Amino acid sequence: MAPLTVNITRHTTASAPRPHVLYIVDVNDGQRSYQVAKRFSEFAALQSQLGDSYGLPPKRLLVTTFIPSAWVDDDLIAERKSGLSSYLRSLLADDAFRSEPALLHFLSAAGAGTIRAFDLEDALPSTLSRKAALTMLGEIDAKATKVAAAYYPDWVGDSNPPENLDFSKFDILLFAFATPNSSSTISWDSGATSLLQRLVTAANNSGHGTQVVLSIGGWGGSYWFHNAMSSSSNRTTFVNAAVSAVNTYGLAGIDIDWEYPNESGAGNPYSSSDAAHLLSFFQQLRSALGSSKIISAAVTQQPWLGSNGSPLTNVSAYASVMTYANIMNYDVNGASSTPGPNAPLGNLCGTSSQPQASAEAAFSAWTNAGFPASKLMLGLPLYGYVSKSTATYLTGSYKRPGKAVMAPSIEVQRAMACRLPDINEVVGKDVGDDGKDATPEVVNYMGGEHARYKGKRTGDVMAKASGDLSAYYGQQVAFNQIVALGALQKQSNGTYVGANGYTEGWDNCSDTPFLFDVSRQTVITYDDTYSIADKATYANQQGMAGCFTWSLDQDDGYTLQNVIRLSLGK
């Protein structure tokens, strides 16, 4: 019997139960040619049934439900036809799958009449209203409770004392950081253990079940990880130190923030065996902590580098002993004279200079490598970058027209982009959600250092609400500082607009906002209620465990945290 060949070059639409797209699969079995019409969700169901690792085109639920325009229909459908063809060809070229009954039935004329429940991913974008989509989302996704987590740095005890936190906003708080040391044990900042004890006590007394996890490492605190992981005896010492911390302080678990095994990172020792040693550590830690404690790791958008210097293609062994992998989808672009997005949702125009660095790309990379979606947490930044620049669009992302023109207004761009309703439309009250003013006192933080670096704060800036952020050129800036310094102004509906001469732009290609003031030569790339909601909604729809933020102290009260919780369905 001749091998099957397939191709998808055409599509059609159907109207019941809602307007949706059918992809026409041209099949040739060597004797005859015939067509099979399939919805996108049927391909997803086939992949789930086969358990294969071949990539489907990315889900585009946010795009398909919130951009009612014909060009999106065309672009999306073209992307899927190409990707679905490649997916089927990969299966038919693989000895392990080409004879699978499920695949053969899928491609048979008999399989053409399979009836499945309607899925939003099948919808024809230009026919599904925002209201209808949100209603269906509520019906479809009443599933497992998602996790809303946040990092609590050990330097915010004064600005955000544990006793004043509203623990109802957080399921998990990751206390950052303890650090590994030359003895393969754990070192603490001055006063950190006392603050940790206060945090655990306050969380326990809150009655909200918030779990406190100790995060070890950090971008600038990872120097001794390689040493602590490098031998069986060192790993045992390090495991014992971590377990001792859990028992001493009544913690829910351990988070390992070693972001770059087999990479120097911030100038740290490394070797080609780092990833393998990390797996051994996680396995030993799980054995020592038992099954109920949390074991997580802060990770980049790609899996850890293996011995060959490339991202691991199979991380299922890690997943089997870990609770979560916390994807740090931020710092994709820092401050620059040609600024780009800090935390892209995706490469939505196909123009990204870093196509592997986005929420969508990270999800695909980790799940394709065998890490279950239900164990992935999406990281959301509550900070941005300030660039000395006269740019009016974001470099490396923006889909430029044929000639130089000004970007559309923010209202037009948001109408085109993946939008949720105004916050009040969902909440029905101030996003403070606690009967109090959601705007906190000014937090004078975020000087010259990276938010995730260890060390003292420098260059604190007093809020003058003038819109002058020049003291932050080349640096990060907390969301609440953008507000406090007057570049953003909170509206009565809980969203924010540019103020003091700043124009608010929207980059459709990364689904992120930015502020620019040409006369000030200032561009601020950041995330707001809209972009945060989109990324949290994406995590929810992809079946991820939830979202975490870096870091709790940078929010404007609980404004962004409330948006995250709403978007996760909490």
Give the per-residue pLDDT at 419: 35
The CATH homologous superfamily to which domain 5-138 belongs is Phox-like domain (3.30.1520.10)
398-436 burial, b at 16+ Cβ within 10 Å, e below that, comes to beeeeeeeebeebeebbebbbbbeebeebbeebbbbeee
Contact 485, 501 (CB under 8 A): no
| pLDDT for the residue numbered 133 | 52
pLDDT for the residue numbered 65: 40
Q: Give the span between the Cα atoms of 49 and 40, in whole angstroms.
A: 14
The model carries a pTM of 0.69
- DSSP 3-state assignment of 298? strand
User: What is the distance in angstroms between the CA of the first residue and the CA of the last residue of the chain?
Assistant: 54
Q: Determine whether 3 is exposed, middle or buried from the number of CB atoms within 10 Å of its CB (0-12, 13-18, 19+).
A: exposed
Instruction: Give dist(CA 528, CA 538) in Å, integer.
Output: 15
CA dist 38 and 174 (Å) reads 44
Q: Which residues pair with 257 in a beta bridge?
A: 217
Mind listing the pLDDT tens digit of every residue in the chain (570 residues)?
A: 568 899 999 888 776 666 778 899 999 988 888 899 998 888 888 887 787 777 787 665 544 443 334 334 566 788 788 889 988 998 998 888 888 888 988 888 765 544 455 566 777 655 555 555 545 444 444 345 899 999 999 999 999 999 999 999 999 999 999 999 999 999 999 999 999 999 999 999 999 999 999 999 999 999 999 999 999 999 999 999 999 999 999 999 999 999 889 999 889 999 999 999 999 999 999 999 999 999 999 999 999 999 999 999 999 999 999 999 999 999 999 999 999 999 999 999 898 999 999 999 999 999 999 999 999 999 999 999 999 999 999 987 755 443 333 344 444 444 434 333 333 333 333 333 333 333 322 222 222 223 333 222 333 334 446 999 999 999 999 999 999 999 999 999 889 999 999 999 999 999 999 999 999 999 999 999 999 999 999 999 999 999 999 999 999 999 999 999 999 988
Q: Could you check whether the bond before residue 175 is cis, i.e. omega within 30 degrees of 0?
A: no
CA-CA distance, 394 to 512, in Å (whole number)? Answer: 10
Q: What pLDDT is attached to residue 163?
A: 98
Query: Could you tell me which of 145, 172, 174 has the C-alpha nearest to residue 540?
Result: 145
What's the 3-state SS for 453-517?
CCCCCCCCCCCCCCCCCHHHCCEEEEHHHHHHCCCEEECCCCCEEECCCCEEEEECCCCEEEEEE
Nearest to 153 by CA among 210, 200, 192: 192
What is the distance between the alpha carbons of residues 192 and 181, in angstroms, rounded to a whole number?
16
Q: How far apart (Å, rounded) are the C-alpha atoms in residues 377 and 149?
A: 9
How far is residue 63's CA from residue 49's CA, in Å, rounded to a whole number?
26
Q: How far, in Å, CA of 381 to CA of 494, rounded?
A: 18
Q: DSSP string covering 327-341, please?
A: E----SS-S-SS---
Q: What is the Cβ-side half-sphere exposure of residue 126, based on CA atoms within 13 angstroms?
A: 10
Contacts of residue 220, Cβ cutoff 8 Å, sequence gap at least 6: 266, 450, 452, 453, 454, 455
Return the pLDDT at 402: 37
Distance CA 482, CA 362 (A): 28
Q: What is the pLDDT of residue 468?
A: 95
Q: How far apart are CA 513 and CA 384, in angstroms?
A: 10
User: What integer pLDDT is reported at residue 12 of this predicted model?
Assistant: 85
Nearest to 373 by CA among 121, 565, 545: 545
Residues β-bridged to residue 145: none
Question: If we measure between CA atoms, which residue out of 503, 555, 547 comes closest to residue 527?
Answer: 555
**CA 162 to chain CA centroid, nearest Å:** 26
- Which of 499, 487, 479, 490 is CA-nearest to residue 437? 490
Residues sharing a CB contact under 8 Å with residue 193, sequence separation 6 or more, in sequence order: 249
Q: Which of 478, 409, 193 is nearest to 201 (CA)?
A: 193
Can you give the residue ranges of every domain in the chain?
5-138
Looking at residue 1, its pLDDT comes to: 56
Is the peptide bond preceding residue 17 cis, with omega within 30 degrees of 0? yes
Phi, psi of 549 (to 5 degrees): -120, 150
